[in-house]
A and B are shown apart, each in its own frame.
Chain A
Amino acid sequence: MTRSLKTLLSLLAVLGLVAAACGSDDDAGGGDTKAAFVMVAPVGDAGWNFMHDQGRQAAEAATGVETAFVEAIPEGGAEFDDAVQQFIDDGYNVIFTTSFGYMDATEAFAADNPDVVFEHISGYKMNDTNFGNTFGRMYQPRYIAGMAAGAATESNKIGYVAAFPFPEVIRGINAFTLGVRRVNPDAEVEVAWTATWFDPTVEGNAAQALLDAGADVLTMHQDSTATGQAATDAGATFVGYHSDMSSQVGNYLTAPVWNWTDRYTDVINAAKDGTYTPESWWGGMADGVVDIEIPSESPVAAEMQQVKDQIIAGEFDVFEGEILAQDGSVMVAAGEKLDDGAMLGMTTFVEGVIGSAEG
Chain B
Amino acid sequence: MNEVTLVGLMLYLAALGELIAEKAGVLNLGVEGMMAVGGVAAFWSGTEFGNPLIGLLIAGIAGGLLALVHGLVAVVMGADQVVSGLALTILGLGMSAFLGQDYVSLPAVPQFGALPLGPLKDLRIVGPIVFNQSWLAWVAVGLGISTWFVLERTRVGLGLRAVGESAATADAAGQSVVVTRVAAVVAGGVLAGFGGAYLTLNLAKGWTEGVTAGRGWIAVALVIFGAWRPGRTAVGALLFGGLLALEPRLQTFGVEISPILISMLPYVITIGVLTAFSIQARHRPSAAPAAIGRAYRREER
Partner-B contacts on A (CB < 8 A): 1, 3-5, 7-8, 11-12, 14-15, 18-19, 21-22, 41-42, 44-46, 190-196, 198-202, 204-206, 208-210, 212-213, 224-226, 229, 232-233, 245, 247-250, 355-356, 358-359
Q: Which of B66-91 contact A (CB under 8 A)?
A: 73, 77-80, 83-84, 87, 90-91
Partner of A210, one of B78, B208, B248: B248
Q: Which of B98, B204, B208 contacts A45 (CB 8 A)?
A: B208
Residues of A within 8 A of B211 (CB): 200-201, 224
B275 adjacent to chain A (CB < 8 Å): no
Give the residue name and chain of the A residue nearest to B260 (CB): A195
A287 to B6: give the CA distance in the assembly, Å.
Answer: 44
For residue A19, which residue of chain B has the nearest CB?
Answer: B94
* Contact flag A45-B205 (CB < 8 Å), given A192-B251, A205-B244, A208-B3: no
CB <8 Å contact, B84 and A4: yes
29 contacts between A and B (CB under 8 A): A1-B80, A4-B79, A5-B83, A7-B79, A7-B83, A8-B84, A11-B90, A11-B91, A12-B90, A15-B91, A18-B94, A19-B94, A22-B98, A41-B209, A41-B210, A44-B208, A46-B104, A192-B251, A193-B259, A195-B260, A196-B213, A204-B3, A208-B248, A210-B252, A213-B252, A224-B211, A226-B206, A250-B107, A359-B258
Residue of A nearest to B213 (CB): A199
B101 contacts across to A, CB distance below 8 A: 22, 44
Q: Please state if B104 and A44 are interface contacts (CB–CB under 8 Å).
A: yes
The 4 closest A-B pairs by CB, nearest first: A4-B79, A200-B204, A195-B259, A206-B248
Q: A45-B208, A192-B252, A229-B205 are in contact. Are A359 and B259 (CB under 8 A)?
A: yes
Q: A8-B87, A45-B210, A249-B107 are in contact. List 11 more A-B contacts (CB 8 A).
A: A19-B94, A21-B98, A22-B101, A46-B105, A201-B7, A201-B211, A202-B263, A204-B203, A204-B204, A206-B247, A209-B248
A209 with B79, Cβ < 8 A, contacts A15-B91, A44-B209 known? no
- In the complex, how many angstroms separate the beta carbon of B215 from the nearest chain A beta carbon? 7
Interface of B is mostly: helix
- A190-B252 in contact (CB<8A): yes
Q: Which residues of A contact B209 (CB under 8 A)?
A: 41-42, 44-45
Alpha-carbon separation in the docked complex, A190 to B251 (Å): 9
Q: How far is A249 from B107 in the complex, measured between Cα atoms in Å?
A: 6
Across the interface, A358 reaches (CB within 8 A) one of B97, B107, B213, B256, namely B256
Residue of A nearest to B10 (CB): A201
Q: Which interface residue of A201, A248, A355 has the most chain B CB atoms within 10 A?
A: A201
A209 to chain B minimum Cβ distance, whole angstroms, is 4
Task: Select which of B77, B208, B248 is within 8 A of A194 by beta carbon.
Answer: B248
Measured CB to CB, the closest approach of chain B to A69, in angstroms, equals 15
Residues of A close to B90: CB separation below 8 A:
11-12, 15
User: Contacting A225 at CB < 8 Å: which of B84, B94, B206, B260?
Assistant: B206
* Known A-B contacts A202-B213, A233-B205; A3 and B245 likewise in contact (beta carbons under 8 Å): no
Contact B77 A3 (CB under 8 A): yes
Contacts of B83 in A (CB 8 A): 4-5, 7-8
Check if A201 sits within 8 Å of B259, measured CB to CB: no
Residue pair A205, B94 in contact (C-beta under 8 Å): no
Chain B, residue nearest A191 (CB): B251
Q: How far is the CA of A198 from the CA of B206 in the complex (A)?
A: 13
B residues in contact with A212, CB < 8 Å = 249, 252
- For residue A185, give the distance in angstroms from its CB to the closest CB of chain B: 22
- Of A11, A195, A206, which one neighbours B87 at CB under 8 angstroms? A11
**Complex: how many Å from CA A348 to CA B148?**
53
For window 219-267 of B, CB contacts with A under 8 Å fall at 244-245, 247-249, 251-252, 256, 258-260, 263
